[in-house]
């Protein structure tokens, strides 16, 4: 069993590099992906018995390119594209490369594939789906289940995304737009992680498979770009946040808020790694949003008890994150309103609940109708002693969330504030 698992892990590691190599040489995203899937299936069937080849990636590329060539040759309507592919890559171009040979496919193909999947022509939803499919190696059914949509709907979304990037040159963006495209890649990975850590809808609070996939992909990007502070910061943020996942739910799947969690259940190895990455990220240039959010997460994780949390330092970091002062590269736009909500909580912890409520009021325009705004307002009203207002806000938040565990938690908080019969 362990040997099979090792092979599966190896295949997932090499899949995006193999797909990237084929798309770079042949084009034809759809056919290349199908050919890679066939090569992966052949490897899963043959390697456990015959043994793993010395150059797994070269083996996969050779098999996948052969399948792709056969597919092109079997379709008369694609003869011209076959001739173009043959001119670009002779039949022996994909033989297993010798160690150190310069034409071996590089890990940069994975990054280039990520840039392609996060092309600005695609919507964020399409970017996420295509990234999980092409780079993450998840099946369409797995992606559909993760997003709680029918498989046919997700298949159409992925198919449309592939059509959009059809013909886009397979190369990393030039210096003029590289930072913007990298920011899009990181934002997609951040969205995948957030959906995994706190599902926006459904019966489960946490989708561990999505969160783990986001961490795995971000590790891959950091291996390729180890000096990028935004990448290091994002990985640190994911690790420090995911370290608390085991303590976020009770025995019946109910939500447990941060200040009530059993901190002995937090993953100390992940916290140690994440904290070290925070220090590294902050030394890699101007602190952007991911680095600052990771530093905030580290302060939470390093507190032995909730009452030991260094709220003044957290508020200072939120001030850098939220208040306008020209942050450097790596500041994504989407997290800003939620970061403002986090700052409101920090203001309340330092200056009192009334001050926090004033900050919440200032976010009304940007977060109107969002259940988290109502939930934070309810929490601060309760701290301020406005029991009626808190109960009404908890009830409103419960009505607005699509997450079953969050609904139950918010309803429980509202019920707890009912006057005794």
Q: Looking at the domain assignment, is residue 142 inside a domain?
A: no
Question: What are the residues whose beta carbons fall under 8 Å from the beta carbon of 17, sequence distance 6 or more?
Answer: 57, 105, 107, 109, 110
Q: Which tokens go with 40?
A: 């992966």
More confident residue, 106 or 189: 189
Question: Residue 148: what pLDDT?
Answer: 65
Q: State mean pLDDT over 80-98.
A: 43
Looking at the DSSP bridge assignments, the partners of residue 202 are 403
Q: Which tokens go with 200?
A: 């926006």
Structural domain for 76, as ranges: 2-90
Per-residue pLDDT band at 89 (split at 50, 70, 90) = very low
Question: Residue 398: what pLDDT?
Answer: 95
Residue 201, H or E segment: strand 201-202
Number of domains, the chain: 1
Q: Tell me the per-residue pLDDT of 162-217, one tens digit each, with 9 for 90 and over.
A: 888 877 776 767 776 777 788 888 988 988 888 888 766 666 667 787 888 889 88
In contact, 248 and 206? CB cutoff 8 Å: yes
The rounded mean pLDDT for the chain is 82
Can you spell out the DSSP letters for 356-409?
HHHHHHTTHHHHTT-HHHHHHHHHHHHHHT-HHHHHHHHHHHHHH-EEHHHHHH
Distance between CA atoms of 94 and 106, rounded to whole angstroms? Answer: 13
Q: Looking at the domain assignment, is residue 54 inside a domain?
A: yes
The CA-based dihedral angle spanning residues 54, 57, 63, 68, taken in that order and rounded to the nearest 10 degrees? -170
Q: Which of 32-41, 67-76, 381-390 has the highest mean pLDDT?
A: 381-390
Distances (CA, A) of 190 to 128, 258, 265: 10, 20, 24
Question: Residue 197: what pLDDT?
Answer: 83
Per-residue pLDDT band at 291 (split at 50, 70, 90) = very high
pLDDT of 40 > 70? The answer is: yes
Longest Cα–Cα distance of the chain, Å, equals 83
Question: What are the residues whose beta carbons fall under 8 Å from the beta carbon of 148, sequence distance 6 or more?
Answer: 201, 202
3-state secondary structure 224-244: HCCCCHHHHHHHHHHHHHHCC
Q: Looking at the domain assignment, is residue 107 inside a domain?
A: no
Q: Which tokens go with 405?
A: 């565990």
| Lowest mean pLDDT, pick from 70-79, 293-302, 312-321, 407-416 | 70-79
Q: Looking at the domain assignment, is residue 264 inside a domain?
A: no
Q: Looking at the domain assignment, is residue 66 inside a domain?
A: yes
Question: Residue 402: what pLDDT?
Answer: 83
Q: Looking at the domain assignment, is residue 70 inside a domain?
A: yes
Q: Which residue has the tokens 């399948």?
A: 67
Number of neighbouring beta carbons within 10 Å of residue 263: 17
Q: Tell me the per-residue pLDDT of 360-378, one tens digit each, with 9 for 90 and over.
A: 999 998 888 889 999 999 9
Q: State mean pLDDT over 245-256.
A: 88
Q: State mean pLDDT over 74-81.
A: 54
Distance between CA atoms of 111 and 116, rounded to whole angstroms? Answer: 9
Q: Tell me the per-residue pLDDT of 304-357, one tens digit each, with 9 for 90 and over.
A: 999 999 999 999 999 999 986 544 444 443 346 789 999 999 999 999 999 999
Q: Looking at the domain assignment, is residue 172 inside a domain?
A: no
Looking at the DSSP bridge assignments, the partners of residue 249 are 255
In contact, 266 and 274? CB cutoff 8 Å: no
pTM reported for the whole predicted model: 0.75
Q: Looking at the domain assignment, is residue 60 inside a domain?
A: yes
Question: Residue 334: what pLDDT?
Answer: 38
3 state DSSP class of 311:
helix
More confident residue, 277 or 223: 277
Q: State mean pLDDT over 255-281.
A: 96
């Amino acid at each position: 069993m362990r040997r099979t698992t090792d092979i599966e892990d190896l295949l997932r590691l090499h899949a995006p590099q193999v797909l990237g190599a084929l798309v770079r040489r042949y084009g034809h995203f759809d056919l290349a992906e199908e050919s890679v899937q066939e090569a992966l299936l052949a490897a899963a069937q043959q390697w456990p018995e015959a043994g793993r080849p010395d150059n797994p990636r070269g083996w996969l590329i050779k098999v996948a390119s052969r399948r792709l060539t056969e597919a092109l040759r079997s379709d008369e309507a694609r003869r011209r594209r076959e001739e173009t592919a043959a001119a670009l890559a002779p039949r022996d171009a994909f033989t297993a490369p010798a160690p150190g040979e310069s034409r071996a496919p590089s890990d940069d193909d994975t990054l280039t594939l990520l840039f392609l999947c996060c092309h600005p022509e695609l919507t964020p939803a399409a970017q996420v789906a295509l990234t999980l499919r092409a780079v993450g190696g998840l099946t369409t059914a797995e992606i559909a289940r993760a997003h709680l949509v029918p498989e046919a709907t997700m298949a159409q979304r992925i198919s449309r995304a592939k059509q959009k990037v059809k013909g886009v040159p397979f190369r990393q963006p030039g210096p003029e737009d590289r930072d913007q495209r990298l920011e899009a890649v990181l934002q997609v990975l951040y969205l995948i992680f957030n959906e995994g850590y706190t599902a926006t809808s459904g019966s489960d609070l946490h989708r561990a498979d999505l969160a783990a996939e986001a961490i795995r992909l971000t590790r891959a990007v950091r291996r390729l770009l180890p000096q990028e502070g935004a990448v290091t910061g994002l990985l640190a943020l994911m690790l420090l946040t995911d370290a608390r996942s085991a303590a976020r739910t009770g025995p019946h799947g109910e939500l447990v808020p941060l200040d009530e969690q059993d901190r002995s259940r937090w993953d100390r190895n992940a916290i140690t790694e994440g904290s070290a990455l925070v220090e590294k990220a902050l030394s890699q240039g101007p602190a952007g949003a991911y680095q600052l959010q990771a530093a905030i997460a580290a302060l939470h994780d390093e507190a032995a008890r909730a009452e030991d949390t260094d709220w003044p330092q957290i508020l200072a970091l939120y001030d850098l994150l939220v208040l306008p002062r020209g942050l450097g590269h790596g500041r994504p736009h989407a997290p800003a309103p939620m970061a403002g909500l986090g700052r409101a909580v920090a203001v309340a912890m330092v200056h009192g609940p009334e001050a926090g409520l004033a900050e919440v009021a200032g976010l009304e325009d940007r977060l109107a109708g969002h259940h988290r705004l109502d939930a934070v307002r309810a929490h601060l009203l309760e701290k301020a002693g406005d029991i009626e207002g808190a109960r009404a806000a908890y009830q409103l938040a419960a009505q607005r969330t699509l997450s079953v565990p969050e609904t139950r938690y918010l309803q429980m908080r509202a019920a707890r504030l009912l006057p005794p019969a």
